[in-house]
Amino acid sequence: MVDWGNTTVLLTGGTGSFGQRMAARLWRMGAGRVVVYSRDELKQHEMRQRYPDGPGSPARYFIGDIRDRDRLMMALRGVDVVIHAAALKQVVASEYNPFEAIKTNVLGAQNLIEAAIERGVQKVIALSTDKAVNPVNLYGATKLCAEKLFQSGNAYAGGGVTRFSVVRYGNVVGSRGSVVPFFRAKRETGKIPITDPRMTRFWITLDEAVDLVLRALETMRGGEIYVPKIPSIRVVDLAEAIAPGCRQEIVGIRPGEKLHETLISEEEARHAVDAGDHYLILPEAWWAERGWDGEALPEGFRYSSDTNDRWLSVEELREMTEGAHALV
Protein backbone atom coordinates (compact mmCIF):
# COMPACT_ATOMS: atom_id res chain seq x y z
CA MET A 1 0.00 0.00 0.00
CA VAL A 2 1.13 3.56 -0.74
CA ASP A 3 1.55 5.72 2.36
CA TRP A 4 0.16 8.84 0.71
CA GLY A 5 0.76 11.10 3.70
CA ASN A 6 4.50 10.55 3.31
CA THR A 7 4.57 10.41 -0.49
CA THR A 8 5.66 13.06 -2.97
CA VAL A 9 3.93 12.78 -6.34
CA LEU A 10 4.92 14.53 -9.56
CA LEU A 11 2.25 14.95 -12.25
CA THR A 12 3.55 15.61 -15.75
CA GLY A 13 0.90 17.39 -17.76
CA GLY A 14 -0.50 18.39 -14.40
CA THR A 15 -2.57 21.30 -15.74
CA GLY A 16 -4.50 19.15 -18.23
CA SER A 17 -7.99 17.77 -17.62
CA PHE A 18 -6.73 14.54 -16.08
CA GLY A 19 -3.86 16.20 -14.25
CA GLN A 20 -6.09 18.70 -12.48
CA ARG A 21 -8.58 16.05 -11.42
CA MET A 22 -5.80 13.76 -10.19
CA ALA A 23 -4.09 16.57 -8.28
CA ALA A 24 -7.34 17.51 -6.56
CA ARG A 25 -7.92 13.88 -5.57
CA LEU A 26 -4.40 13.50 -4.18
CA TRP A 27 -4.73 16.67 -2.14
CA ARG A 28 -8.04 15.44 -0.70
CA MET A 29 -6.36 12.11 0.13
CA GLY A 30 -3.72 13.94 2.15
CA ALA A 31 -0.73 13.31 -0.12
CA GLY A 32 2.44 14.71 1.39
CA ARG A 33 3.39 16.81 -1.65
CA VAL A 34 1.97 17.04 -5.18
CA VAL A 35 4.15 18.69 -7.81
CA VAL A 36 2.31 19.96 -10.89
CA TYR A 37 4.80 19.82 -13.77
CA SER A 38 3.78 21.49 -17.03
CA ARG A 39 4.95 24.12 -19.49
CA ASP A 40 1.89 26.42 -19.39
CA GLU A 41 2.39 29.21 -16.86
CA LEU A 42 -1.13 30.61 -17.36
CA LYS A 43 -2.80 27.29 -16.54
CA GLN A 44 -0.54 26.91 -13.51
CA HIS A 45 -1.49 30.41 -12.38
CA GLU A 46 -5.19 29.61 -12.75
CA MET A 47 -4.75 26.32 -10.90
CA ARG A 48 -2.83 28.06 -8.12
CA GLN A 49 -5.84 30.31 -7.48
CA ARG A 50 -7.89 27.26 -6.53
CA TYR A 51 -5.10 25.22 -4.92
CA PRO A 52 -2.54 27.68 -3.48
CA ASP A 53 1.02 26.65 -2.77
CA GLY A 54 3.26 28.03 -0.04
CA PRO A 55 3.92 27.18 3.62
CA GLY A 56 1.69 24.40 4.92
CA SER A 57 0.34 23.52 1.47
CA PRO A 58 1.09 20.20 -0.27
CA ALA A 59 0.81 21.92 -3.67
CA ARG A 60 3.87 22.80 -5.73
CA TYR A 61 4.03 24.20 -9.27
CA PHE A 62 7.01 23.53 -11.52
CA ILE A 63 7.34 25.02 -15.02
CA GLY A 64 9.04 22.51 -17.28
CA ASP A 65 8.82 20.37 -20.41
CA ILE A 66 9.36 16.61 -20.55
CA ARG A 67 11.56 17.26 -23.57
CA ASP A 68 14.04 18.88 -21.16
CA ARG A 69 15.87 16.09 -19.33
CA ASP A 70 17.86 18.46 -17.10
CA ARG A 71 14.70 20.16 -15.91
CA LEU A 72 13.11 16.76 -15.19
CA MET A 73 16.15 15.79 -13.14
CA MET A 74 15.68 18.90 -11.03
CA ALA A 75 11.92 18.39 -10.66
CA LEU A 76 12.31 14.73 -9.61
CA ARG A 77 14.47 15.39 -6.56
CA GLY A 78 12.75 13.77 -3.59
CA VAL A 79 9.87 12.42 -5.70
CA ASP A 80 8.47 8.97 -4.86
CA VAL A 81 5.76 8.55 -7.52
CA VAL A 82 5.33 9.94 -11.04
CA ILE A 83 2.03 10.01 -12.91
CA HIS A 84 2.86 10.75 -16.54
CA ALA A 85 -0.01 12.49 -18.35
CA ALA A 86 1.93 14.93 -20.55
CA ALA A 87 1.46 14.32 -24.27
CA LEU A 88 0.60 15.84 -27.60
CA LYS A 89 -2.69 14.03 -28.16
CA GLN A 90 -4.52 15.70 -31.05
CA VAL A 91 -4.58 13.29 -34.00
CA VAL A 92 -4.71 15.96 -36.71
CA ALA A 93 -2.05 18.14 -35.07
CA SER A 94 0.26 15.14 -34.71
CA GLU A 95 -0.16 14.23 -38.37
CA TYR A 96 0.77 17.78 -39.40
CA ASN A 97 3.59 18.15 -36.83
CA PRO A 98 5.08 14.65 -36.63
CA PHE A 99 8.51 15.69 -35.33
CA GLU A 100 6.88 17.57 -32.44
CA ALA A 101 4.69 14.59 -31.53
CA ILE A 102 7.72 12.29 -31.47
CA LYS A 103 9.79 14.74 -29.39
CA THR A 104 7.10 14.94 -26.71
CA ASN A 105 5.46 11.51 -26.74
CA VAL A 106 8.48 9.30 -27.44
CA LEU A 107 11.65 11.20 -26.56
CA GLY A 108 9.88 12.79 -23.60
CA ALA A 109 9.05 9.32 -22.34
CA GLN A 110 12.72 8.33 -22.65
CA ASN A 111 13.77 11.43 -20.71
CA LEU A 112 11.34 10.64 -17.92
CA ILE A 113 12.42 6.99 -17.70
CA GLU A 114 16.10 7.85 -17.48
CA ALA A 115 15.57 10.68 -15.00
CA ALA A 116 13.25 8.59 -12.79
CA ILE A 117 15.81 5.77 -12.59
CA GLU A 118 18.64 8.17 -11.77
CA ARG A 119 16.60 9.92 -9.09
CA GLY A 120 15.42 6.66 -7.51
CA VAL A 121 11.70 7.28 -8.05
CA GLN A 122 9.80 4.25 -6.79
CA LYS A 123 6.79 4.07 -9.12
CA VAL A 124 5.97 5.58 -12.51
CA ILE A 125 2.55 5.20 -14.12
CA ALA A 126 2.18 6.35 -17.74
CA LEU A 127 -1.16 7.15 -19.35
CA SER A 128 -1.86 5.60 -22.74
CA THR A 129 -4.80 5.32 -25.13
CA ASP A 130 -6.81 2.84 -27.16
CA LYS A 131 -5.24 4.47 -30.23
CA ALA A 132 -1.96 2.74 -29.32
CA VAL A 133 -3.51 -0.62 -30.29
CA ASN A 134 -2.88 -1.41 -33.96
CA PRO A 135 -2.28 2.31 -34.62
CA VAL A 136 -3.34 3.93 -37.88
CA ASN A 137 -2.16 7.46 -37.06
CA LEU A 138 1.06 8.98 -35.76
CA TYR A 139 -0.41 9.84 -32.37
CA GLY A 140 -1.31 6.19 -31.78
CA ALA A 141 2.10 5.09 -33.03
CA THR A 142 3.90 7.42 -30.62
CA LYS A 143 1.80 6.16 -27.71
CA LEU A 144 2.56 2.55 -28.67
CA CYS A 145 6.27 3.43 -28.68
CA ALA A 146 5.89 5.09 -25.28
CA GLU A 147 4.15 2.00 -23.87
CA LYS A 148 7.04 -0.18 -25.03
CA LEU A 149 9.57 2.23 -23.55
CA PHE A 150 7.88 2.28 -20.15
CA GLN A 151 7.64 -1.52 -20.10
CA SER A 152 11.32 -1.83 -20.99
CA GLY A 153 12.19 0.82 -18.42
CA ASN A 154 11.92 -1.94 -15.82
CA ALA A 155 14.84 -3.73 -17.45
CA TYR A 156 16.88 -0.53 -17.53
CA ALA A 157 16.16 -0.03 -13.83
CA GLY A 158 17.75 -3.42 -13.16
CA GLY A 159 18.15 -4.00 -9.44
CA GLY A 160 17.11 -0.43 -8.63
CA VAL A 161 13.87 0.57 -6.94
CA THR A 162 12.12 2.18 -9.92
CA ARG A 163 9.20 0.34 -11.51
CA PHE A 164 7.16 1.40 -14.55
CA SER A 165 3.61 0.45 -15.57
CA VAL A 166 0.98 1.75 -17.97
CA VAL A 167 -2.76 2.44 -17.89
CA ARG A 168 -4.60 2.37 -21.21
CA TYR A 169 -8.15 3.66 -21.64
CA GLY A 170 -10.52 5.27 -24.15
CA ASN A 171 -12.09 8.68 -24.70
CA VAL A 172 -12.59 10.80 -21.59
CA VAL A 173 -15.92 12.56 -21.09
CA GLY A 174 -15.49 16.33 -21.35
CA SER A 175 -11.69 16.44 -21.50
CA ARG A 176 -10.16 19.30 -23.43
CA GLY A 177 -10.25 18.54 -27.13
CA SER A 178 -13.00 15.92 -26.80
CA VAL A 179 -16.02 15.77 -29.09
CA VAL A 180 -18.43 16.89 -26.33
CA PRO A 181 -17.63 20.64 -26.45
CA PHE A 182 -17.41 20.39 -30.25
CA PHE A 183 -20.93 18.96 -30.54
CA ARG A 184 -22.17 21.47 -27.97
CA ALA A 185 -20.89 24.37 -30.09
CA LYS A 186 -22.26 22.92 -33.31
CA ARG A 187 -25.80 22.42 -32.01
CA GLU A 188 -26.36 26.19 -32.34
CA THR A 189 -26.22 25.72 -36.12
CA GLY A 190 -28.89 23.01 -36.10
CA LYS A 191 -26.48 20.56 -37.80
CA ILE A 192 -24.10 18.07 -36.19
CA PRO A 193 -21.29 16.65 -38.38
CA ILE A 194 -20.96 12.88 -38.04
CA THR A 195 -17.96 11.14 -39.55
CA ASP A 196 -19.70 7.76 -39.92
CA PRO A 197 -23.01 6.57 -38.41
CA ARG A 198 -21.40 3.20 -37.55
CA MET A 199 -18.59 4.74 -35.47
CA THR A 200 -18.18 3.56 -31.86
CA ARG A 201 -15.85 4.57 -29.06
CA PHE A 202 -14.94 3.51 -25.52
CA TRP A 203 -16.09 6.03 -22.87
CA ILE A 204 -14.65 6.77 -19.43
CA THR A 205 -15.12 9.58 -16.93
CA LEU A 206 -12.24 11.53 -15.42
CA ASP A 207 -12.98 10.09 -11.99
CA GLU A 208 -12.90 6.54 -13.37
CA ALA A 209 -9.53 7.28 -15.00
CA VAL A 210 -8.20 8.62 -11.70
CA ASP A 211 -9.50 5.54 -9.86
CA LEU A 212 -7.71 3.27 -12.33
CA VAL A 213 -4.39 5.06 -11.89
CA LEU A 214 -4.64 4.95 -8.10
CA ARG A 215 -5.48 1.24 -8.20
CA ALA A 216 -2.49 0.62 -10.48
CA LEU A 217 -0.16 2.49 -8.12
CA GLU A 218 -1.30 0.28 -5.24
CA THR A 219 -0.87 -3.04 -7.08
CA MET A 220 1.73 -2.58 -9.84
CA ARG A 221 4.80 -4.79 -10.04
CA GLY A 222 6.29 -3.35 -13.22
CA GLY A 223 5.65 -3.84 -16.91
CA GLU A 224 1.92 -4.52 -16.83
CA ILE A 225 -0.73 -2.54 -18.74
CA TYR A 226 -3.98 -1.84 -16.87
CA VAL A 227 -7.12 -1.76 -19.04
CA PRO A 228 -10.45 -0.79 -17.43
CA LYS A 229 -13.77 -2.45 -18.19
CA ILE A 230 -15.69 0.50 -19.56
CA PRO A 231 -18.78 0.98 -21.73
CA SER A 232 -18.96 1.84 -25.41
CA ILE A 233 -20.93 4.56 -27.11
CA ARG A 234 -22.30 5.09 -30.60
CA VAL A 235 -21.27 8.49 -31.88
CA VAL A 236 -24.75 9.07 -33.31
CA ASP A 237 -26.20 8.47 -29.82
CA LEU A 238 -23.76 10.99 -28.36
CA ALA A 239 -24.82 13.56 -30.93
CA GLU A 240 -28.49 12.95 -30.11
CA ALA A 241 -27.77 13.26 -26.38
CA ILE A 242 -26.00 16.61 -26.75
CA ALA A 243 -28.01 18.09 -29.63
CA PRO A 244 -31.48 16.48 -29.71
CA GLY A 245 -33.45 17.33 -32.81
CA CYS A 246 -30.44 18.59 -34.76
CA ARG A 247 -29.83 17.19 -38.23
CA GLN A 248 -26.90 14.79 -38.37
CA GLU A 249 -24.74 15.42 -41.43
CA ILE A 250 -22.42 12.62 -42.56
CA VAL A 251 -19.01 14.11 -43.45
CA GLY A 252 -16.81 10.99 -43.71
CA ILE A 253 -13.99 9.61 -41.58
CA ARG A 254 -10.98 11.90 -41.32
CA PRO A 255 -7.46 10.68 -42.14
CA GLY A 256 -6.04 8.73 -39.20
CA GLU A 257 -9.42 7.85 -37.68
CA LYS A 258 -10.74 4.36 -37.03
CA LEU A 259 -14.33 3.21 -37.30
CA HIS A 260 -13.97 1.39 -33.97
CA GLU A 261 -11.28 1.40 -31.28
CA THR A 262 -9.58 -1.55 -29.57
CA LEU A 263 -8.24 -1.68 -26.02
CA ILE A 264 -6.86 -5.23 -26.14
CA SER A 265 -5.89 -6.87 -29.43
CA GLU A 266 -6.25 -10.59 -30.01
CA GLU A 267 -2.47 -10.94 -29.89
CA GLU A 268 -2.24 -9.14 -26.54
CA ALA A 269 -5.09 -11.19 -25.10
CA ARG A 270 -2.90 -14.30 -25.17
CA HIS A 271 -0.81 -12.82 -22.34
CA ALA A 272 -3.56 -10.93 -20.52
CA VAL A 273 -5.83 -11.81 -17.59
CA ASP A 274 -9.22 -10.76 -16.29
CA ALA A 275 -8.51 -9.14 -12.91
CA GLY A 276 -12.11 -8.37 -11.92
CA ASP A 277 -12.99 -4.77 -12.70
CA HIS A 278 -10.08 -4.43 -15.14
CA TYR A 279 -7.84 -6.45 -17.43
CA LEU A 280 -4.08 -6.79 -17.10
CA ILE A 281 -1.85 -7.17 -20.15
CA LEU A 282 1.21 -8.88 -18.73
CA PRO A 283 4.78 -8.34 -19.93
CA GLU A 284 6.29 -11.26 -21.81
CA ALA A 285 9.93 -10.31 -21.22
CA TRP A 286 12.17 -12.74 -19.36
CA TRP A 287 12.89 -10.19 -16.63
CA ALA A 288 9.24 -9.65 -15.73
CA GLU A 289 7.65 -11.03 -12.58
CA ARG A 290 5.21 -13.91 -12.84
CA GLY A 291 2.17 -15.04 -10.92
CA TRP A 292 -0.37 -12.22 -11.31
CA ASP A 293 -3.85 -13.00 -10.04
CA GLY A 294 -6.59 -13.26 -12.66
CA GLU A 295 -8.28 -15.57 -15.13
CA ALA A 296 -6.81 -16.22 -18.55
CA LEU A 297 -8.86 -14.72 -21.38
CA PRO A 298 -10.66 -17.05 -23.81
CA GLU A 299 -9.10 -17.99 -27.13
CA GLY A 300 -9.73 -15.30 -29.75
CA PHE A 301 -10.64 -12.64 -27.17
CA ARG A 302 -10.52 -9.06 -28.44
CA TYR A 303 -11.70 -6.02 -26.49
CA SER A 304 -13.14 -3.67 -29.09
CA SER A 305 -15.64 -0.82 -28.86
CA ASP A 306 -18.00 -2.40 -31.41
CA THR A 307 -18.18 -5.83 -29.70
CA ASN A 308 -18.42 -4.56 -26.13
CA ASP A 309 -21.13 -6.02 -23.88
CA ARG A 310 -21.72 -2.64 -22.16
CA TRP A 311 -23.32 0.30 -23.98
CA LEU A 312 -24.43 3.73 -22.79
CA SER A 313 -27.92 4.83 -23.81
CA VAL A 314 -28.82 8.30 -25.11
CA GLU A 315 -30.32 9.10 -21.69
CA GLU A 316 -27.17 8.02 -19.85
CA LEU A 317 -24.99 10.01 -22.23
CA ARG A 318 -27.14 13.09 -21.78
CA GLU A 319 -26.82 12.87 -18.01
CA MET A 320 -23.04 12.44 -18.23
CA THR A 321 -22.41 15.24 -20.73
CA GLU A 322 -24.68 17.87 -19.20
CA GLY A 323 -22.16 18.37 -16.41
CA ALA A 324 -19.05 17.73 -18.50
CA HIS A 325 -18.11 21.43 -18.56
CA ALA A 326 -17.67 21.29 -14.79
CA LEU A 327 -15.54 18.17 -14.66
CA VAL A 328 -12.28 19.98 -13.94
Q: Angle at which helices 17-29 and 206-219 pack, to 10 degrees? A: 60
Closest CA to 146 of 286, 13, 301, 254: 13
Closest CA to 230 of 249, 214, 207, 251: 207
Give me the catalytic one of 89, 123, 131, 143.
Answer: 131
Tell me, yes or no, if 148 is annotated catalytic: no
Rg (CA), the chain: 20
For residue 187, with 0-12 CB atoms within 10 Å meaning exposed, 13-18 middle and 19 or more buried, which class applies? middle
Q: CA torsion 201→206→207→209, rounded to 10°?
A: 60
Closest CA to 223 of 297, 123, 139: 123
**Distance, CA of 10 to CA of 12 (rounded, Å):** 6
Catalytic residues: 131
